[in-house]
Structure 1
Amino acid sequence: MSSPPMRVLAHDASSHAVIALFRLPGMDDALFQAEASQILSDLLELRRRLES
């Protein structure tokens, strides 16, 4: 798996984490879903750490 581009943007007193997921040529449904699942897992972990 590749590392999709990520940015953290300031927004008032908080911030937004933005990740771009691209479906590359030849990427099948299973691999695309695996990438999306990993991103969701990473974002949930980031949220857990920031809110604790």
Structure 2
Amino acid sequence: MLKINALALHSQRVFYLQQKQKIVYEFRRVFKLPLDDVCSALKKKIPNLMRSNPH
């Protein structure tokens, strides 16, 4: 039972990470900003966003 819960939690984390990556990608694509500016702009909305996370 614990393995199933751990797997479900991991799946949720992966899903949310993918969603955050999509947000960063679209923000950067639409506004045509350098990555540092995107990180600065989204830091308040995505607190755990680091310079090394988005691509």
TM-score by length of 2: 0.45
Structure with the higher helix share, 1 or 2 = 2
State TM-score, norm by structure 1.
Answer: 0.48
Q: Pick 1 or 2: higher relative contact order, CA cutoff 8 A, min separation 6.
A: 2
**Could you say which structure has the higher strand fraction?**
1
Structure number with bigger Rg:
2
